[in-house]
């Protein structure tokens, strides 16, 4: 995955969307083609995907008209039909209508009481064939907050931080209540939280206000020594739950529900690695509590190195729909509104060092 960077001070969502669409037209069009080819391979026809995308865009327009306008302007700027950008931004909602597959992403946040900034790290695992391009984007929200985020080309958001000191990590979940009555795209929920929330409580309130059709967990945390200072917001059509940190400040998550009520509807595949990854991350907590992002990345893998369960390496013998790769490792600096990242798994970051954005 090639990671591009871009900064914009345009606050009007329509003008910003057009700018992003024009600037990254080739990358957006490439990503759209890959997803539109991918959906039928996993049993979703293009007509089904289009219907889900358009309905999700309608749900977004009702929940956040500004973000819906940005998607429409991005499509126009990139010279693409609006339904295609709607499908891309609702790719989680489209795929949630299919049987659950292997999960993606392992997250660890250490946010104890006191003035020290949280220490965080996340892997982003996804199909290697779908993401030739990623984007580190700095933008200025209409409320005045600076936002820095990572996302796929053409998508509203994913992992990020804002100048109020609020950070957000992102993991996909699967629940029995996931359905095809398309809701607000979960990636748009992450983006709106980064643009508007200044506290964890703000983030929880925004997440609760969105009707979803696909499950996700947004782990949010603040540089402020507040209560709560961190939380994993588990979203499912069946409801929203807030998972607090342990007493020592640790909050870890992979791709299964931790809330007791929502976990009863868990839809993780039997062959999934989510439980093994969470056990591995939990065992590494003490080693990840200190040091910079390179030290935390090495500690996350531990003695197993790249053979650790948090590192996915694609098997070229497998079809694209079943290949997974750890495409990104990222930590969030809430004190300085920065992302520290490296393409690839945590051991790659530990060896080569991080890029700061």
pLDDT tens figures, 100-149: 666 679 999 999 999 899 999 999 999 989 999 999 999 999 899 999 99
Q: Residue 138 is inside which H or E element, if any? A: strand 133-140
Pairing of strands 106-110, 119-126: antiparallel
Query: Is pLDDT of 28 > 90?
Result: yes
Q: Domain spanning 106-356 has what CATH number?
A: 3.60.60.10
Give the pLDDT confidence of 254-295 residue by residue, as tens digits. 999 999 999 999 998 766 799 999 999 999 999 999 899 999
Mean pLDDT of 321-327: 91
* pLDDT bucket at 316, cuts 50 / 70 / 90: confident
pLDDT of residue 271: 62
Answer whether the bond into residue 228 is a cis peptide, omega within 30°.
yes
* Side-by-side strand order, sheet with 250-253: 250-253, 106-110, 119-126, 325-333, 338-343, 355-356
Give the pLDDT confidence of 62-110 residue by residue, as tens digits. 999 999 999 999 999 999 999 999 999 999 999 998 876 666 799 999 9
Mean pLDDT of 18-45: 97
Contact present, 174 and 263 (Cβ < 8 Å) = no
pTM over 0.85: yes
Query: Is pLDDT of 340 > 90?
Result: yes
Mean pLDDT of 235-255: 97
* pLDDT bucket at 318, cuts 50 / 70 / 90: confident
Partners of 110 in beta bridges: 119, 250
For residues 180, 181, 185, 189, the Cα torsion angle rounded to the nearest 10 degrees is -130
Mean pLDDT of 188-207: 98
pLDDT of residue 129: 92
pLDDT of residue 166: 98
pLDDT of residue 320: 84
**% of the chain with per-residue pLDDT over 90:** 92
b/e 149-171 (16+ beta carbons within 10 angstroms → b): bbbbbbbbbbbbbbbbbbbbbbb
pLDDT of residue 103: 64
pLDDT of residue 322: 86
Mean pLDDT of 224-240: 96
Contact present, 178 and 236 (Cβ < 8 Å) = yes
Contact present, 234 and 257 (Cβ < 8 Å) = yes
DSSP secondary-structure letter at 292? -
Q: How high does pLDDT run on average in the chain? A: 96
pLDDT of residue 321: 84
Domain boundaries, the chain: 2-95, 106-356
Partners of 312 in beta bridges: none
- Evaluated on CA atoms 86, 127, 280, 100, the torsion sign reads positive
Phi, psi (rounded to 5 degrees) for 279: -60, -40
- Roughly what angle, to the nearest 10 degrees, separates helices 186-196 and 200-208? 140
Contact present, 123 and 346 (Cβ < 8 Å) = yes
């Amino acid at each position: 995955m090639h990671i591009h960077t871009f900064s914009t001070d345009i606050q009007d969502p329509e003008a910003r969307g057009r700018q992003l669409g024009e600037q990254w037209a080739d990358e957006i069009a490439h990503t759209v083609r890959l997803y539109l080819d991918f959906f039928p391979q996993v049993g979703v026809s293009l007509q089904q995907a289009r219907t889900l995308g358009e309905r999700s865009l309608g749900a977004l327009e009702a929940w956040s008209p500004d973000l819906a306008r940005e998607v429409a302007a991005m499509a126009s700027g990139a010279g693409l039909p609006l339904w295609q950008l709607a499908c891309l931004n609702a790719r989680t909602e489209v795929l949630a209508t299919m049987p659950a597959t292997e999960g993606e992403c392992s997250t660890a946040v250490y946010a104890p009481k006191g003035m020290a900034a949280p220490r965080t790290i996340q892997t982003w695992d996804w199909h290697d064939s779908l993401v030739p391009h990623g984007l580190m984007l700095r933008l200025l929200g209409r409320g005045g907050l600076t936002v820095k985020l990572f996302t796929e080309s053409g998508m509203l958001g994913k992992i990020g931080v804002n100048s109020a000191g609020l950070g957000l990590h992102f993991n996909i979940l699967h629940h029995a209540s996931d359905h095809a009555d398309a809701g607000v795209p979960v990636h748009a929920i992450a983006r709106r939280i980064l643009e508007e929330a200044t506290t964890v409580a703000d983030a929880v309130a925004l997440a609760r206000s969105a009707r979803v059709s696909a499950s996700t967990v947004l782990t949010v945390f603040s540089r402020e020594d507040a209560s709560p200072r961190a939380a994993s917001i588990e979203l499912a059509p069946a409801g929203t739950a807030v998972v607090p940190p342990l007493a020592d400040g640790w909050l870890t998550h992979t791709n299964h529900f931790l809330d007791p009520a929502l976990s009863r509807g868990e839809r993780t595949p039997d062959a999934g690695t989510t439980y093994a990854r969470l056990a591995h991350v939990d065992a590494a907590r003490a080693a990840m509590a200190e040091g910079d992002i390179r030290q935390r990345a090495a500690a996350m893998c531990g003695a197993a190195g790249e053979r650790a369960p948090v590192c996915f390496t694609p098997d070229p013998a497998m079809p694209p729909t079943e290949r997974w790769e750890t495409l990104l490792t990222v930590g969030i600096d809430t004190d300085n509104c920065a992302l520290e990242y490296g393409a690839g798994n945590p051991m790659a970051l530990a060896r080569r060092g991080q890029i700061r954005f």
